[in-house]
Amino acid sequence: MNHSKELIEQTRELSILFAEDHDELRENTTDILKYFFKRVDSVSNGVEAFEYYAENLNKNNKYDLVLTDIQMPKMNGVVLTQKIYELYPKQCVVVLSAHDTTEYLLPLINLGIEQFIKKPIDYQELLKVLLVIAKKINFKEETQISHQNIYFDKTTYFNKETKSLIENKNSLYLTKYEIIFLMLLSTKVGKIYSNEDIVNYFNDEDESIDSQNIRKLVSKLRKKLPEDTLESIYGVGYKLNSIT
Residues listed for the chain: 244
Most confidently modeled of 135-144, 182-191, 207-216?
A: 207-216
CA distance 137 to 162: 21
Does residue 104 have a pLDDT over 70?
no
CA distance 144 to 154: 18
Predicted structure pTM score: 0.59
CA distance 219 to 58: 40
> Reduced to 3 DSSP states, what percent helix, strand and coil does the chain have, rounded to the nearest 5?
45, 20, 35
| pLDDT score, position 243 | 80
Confidence of residue 190 (pLDDT cuts 50, 70, 90): confident
Closest by Cα among 205, 158, 206, 207 to 182: 158
Q: Which domains does the chain have, with CATH numbers?
A: 4-147 (3.40.50.2300), 152-240 (1.10.10.10)
Q: What is the pLDDT of residues 132-167, one digit of tens each?
A: 899 888 876 655 545 678 889 989 999 988 899 999
Classify burial at 65, counting beta carbons within 10 Å of its beta carbon; exposed 0-12, middle 13-18, buried 19 or more: buried
Percent of the chain with pLDDT over 90: 53
